[in-house]
Amino acid sequence: MSTSSSARPRRNSVPATGAARRGSLEERLGHRFRDPGLLEQALTHRSFGSPHNERLEFLGDGVLGCVIAEELYGRFSGAAEGELSRLRASLVREAALADVARSIGLSAFLRLGEGELASGGADRPSILADALEAALGAIFLDGGYDSVRASVRRTFGEALARIDAGESAKDAKTRLQELLQARREKLPAYRVVSTAGAAHKQVFEVECLAEGLNLRATGSGTSRRNAEQQAAANLLKKVGA
C-alpha cells in the first residue's frame, strides 16, 4: 500500500549522499569508506530522522581527543601536562571544529530537517562540529585508529601548523580583554541575543561589543560560555589580532 505524502517525514532537499558526492567528501577526509552507510549516518542530524549521528559524535569526540593529544605530545616535547591540555582544548572546542568542517565543505553534505535547514543549521557551529566528530567516529569504525589519525592529520593540518604553545594557553575572551586593556579601552560587554532549540540542546547566540573600538561581533554555541568565546574570537578577527 502506498504511503500518502502527508504521512512521510518532512526532510530537506539534500539527497542521500550518492557515490559521486560521497567520493568528493571522502577525498577531503582522506578516507575511502568500505561501509558508505557509516558516512551517511555521520552526516544525518536528528532533525532529519534515524539513524542519526549522535552516537557516532560521542565516539568521534573521544577518538579525536586521543589523536590530538598524541599529535601535541609529539610536537611540543617540552610542554607540561597543563599546557598540553590547554592546547588540545583550543583545537577541539566547538568553534575550532566548525572551522575545520567549513574548510572541507562539510555543510554541503549534511542531512537536515526542513526546520533546521530554514534556520541556517547547515552553518551552525554546533551542528558542523558534531557532524565532523561523527565523521571521525565513522572512520574509526570503518578503518580503525590509524585511519582516523591520518584523517585528523589531513583535516586539522593547518590548525596544527598554526598552533602556538604560548598563545593558545589563553582563550579568546582573555586575549580580547588583554588587548583592550593594553589600548586603555573599556572592557568588552556580552549579551545573549537569542536562544533556540530544546532545553537539553539549546543554541545560544551572543553579541560581543567593544565600545571603544566601535566594533561588535556575534557567536553561537551550545552553552553561553561557548557562544561568548566564539563572539570574542570573531571580534578579534575584526581587530586583526
Active site residues: 61, 133
Q: Which residues, 6+ apart, have CB-to-CB distance to 200 below 8 Å?
A: none
In this structure, what C-alpha cell is assigned to residue 43?
552526516
Residue 17 contacts residue 25 (beta carbons within 8 Å): yes
Neighbouring CB atoms inside 10 A of 167's CB total: 11
Q: Is the Cβ–Cβ distance between 232 and 219 less than 8 Å?
A: yes
- Rounded distance between C-alpha atoms, residue 61 and residue 94, angstroms: 11
28-34: long-range pairs with CB below 8 Å, 24+: 28/104, 28/105, 28/155, 29/104, 29/135, 29/139, 29/151, 29/154, 29/155, 30/150, 30/151, 30/154, 30/155, 31/139, 31/142, 31/143, 31/147, 31/150, 31/151, 33/138, 33/139, 33/142, 34/142, 34/143
Residue 39: burial class (beta carbons within 10 Å; 0-12, 13-18, 19+): buried
123/223 Cα distance (integer angstroms): 17
Please give the Cα distance from 105 to 128 (Å, whole number): 10
